[in-house]
Structure 1
């Protein structure tokens, strides 16, 4: 029995010793974890602590004093130990680092709060706003309305798809307005497509689709013409305005649906002159010393031969003291007495030369293998060369620098 008691005492002692050893090991391991955790969350050097606290105080004072709606850009506590450069605009940027150095990765602790963060700059939300569409609110003085439409071209079926969207701010001749729109594909002025009539509204919403059949070769020679009419109580049609839109400068594809708006223009109701008329704009930029000519359109031209192969173009020549300086010409449009160009040309002209310079615009017809024919010509310039409307146009251009001045002029056959 004594032997059994001794053996039991020895076994109990061994078990107690093992238990104490395990307990001591667990306590030591826990102590090591706590020590390493304290090192992880305190990477900021004590020597920078005063500077950080001072920067934080200055940032808070700066944020309170500003009235802007800026969003503070905050450096997390984990980056407080990095080096930062103070700039004049009170923002801070990190010094250059090795571009091939990969950032240290690791598990993000929930203890990374913004409690010790400080502000190094601000983000202005106004810089990231989407520009506001003011096409329905900003109308020029004397506006008679604005029209929205979209165009798309299907290459395989050779179809031009035109969507008439809406018209806004119509100026009706009566108290009520019932508008509709006719759409032409020039130079064909005999056939057109027509929208539905919208009753008693100055801001009609159409949302109608129209299809014109036109080959891809002839597409860039064509021009869309929109005529906006009002129907009165006696069923009479009154033209309110028009939009002329050449297709030659547009990239028309199936994947590129263009949504466009244009201000309505009043149609020139005067009958064409004997040799036709030409419309163009003039502008002079005194700062750049640049004379700009925008050839818009011509009408009522007396073609020498009614041939679809006959091309009509405009040649713009700059003269000084009646001596030729430089000339440029538009594209040639086939088989039309009412071509639409919308082409812009610029000439380098010093301001001191405006009293001796002039512009000559000649409308010419060319046939393949035949001599070029002059259909008409007009000269605009100072008092030395011109009188009447041509002189008024030139003087108005000079009196309104950097502004396009548009006018119609009668063509003549003088050389």
Structure 2
């Protein structure tokens, strides 16, 4: 009876069963604790919006350990309105049946002395009388053309220009006033407005000019600008004034709109009068020195420019005696450096001359934008029985790219480049810095 009733192998199996159950229970407890801990951690995120709104602690923006901000009493926007009893509250607005009657204070006018002229005039008349006391005749020019006559002038094709001229012999200054330009042709078929400006030349010195301001988006610009030229009294009658009107487009390209040629020998320079003249296109605006007809032809294969010299006409300032002769000198420039010089044969001086000669220059295609041609009509004078001979430049024409030429000369050069191996012929106005008396 002292030994166990269970066999040894049964006792071992029982012990193993008890240990396995204990381990399972322990593992189950661990799982329960882990699940409970995770749910505990996720519980603040599972709170509904309604619970948050009902919980006064959860809506605090600061920890409970922080001292809350002091609550200050509300300030009234109009405290004076509540300092009186209820029966005497201030009224801030009211409604009325009609606008109350009121009258403007009497107008105060500077009084005049008794017996003074215009003592009973209105304020506007009084101001006008003050302006009149400045004597505007001292500041404005007398005019031989009134503004009212502008409405009765005939229509102009290219536009009309107003100006005034006066010469001060004491200081040898020519004062030119550019007043306005009207009825310029618009851009395109829709007559869009232009940006015009005017350049004023005192020929034959066309390198020195005066330029007006640019007037934006208009076909009838008003300038009212004064320009001064220094010229001697002996030379003033031999000069010609030229107004050239230009337009600058959005690409900064200049377009010629017309010119006005004014020989000063036909103008009374002692009186300040206002004149008007119709603009003429480039083909009709002749230079005071005359014109020369030339042709240009460029052959890209041989890289040569062929210049044809045809005619010269309207030579006005030449001294036509039997000893004076003309020839054309053509120079090829690269920048400011003369590369090659050629000339035609000389001919006797006359108003119109036929030359019919050709000259050629070698120019590489890559150098076409950096070179220019200067054709100068030279006058050879013989004096002292033919012992002394000297050449005088009568007039010149500069043809080349945009860097060196403008107007017809620039167009002629561009047409030569656009149509290789085709002679392009044009008339060019002669210009010069030399005065011919």
TM range (shorter): 0.3 to 0.5
**Larger Rg, first or second structure (1 or 2):** 2
TM-score relative to the length of structure 2: 0.35
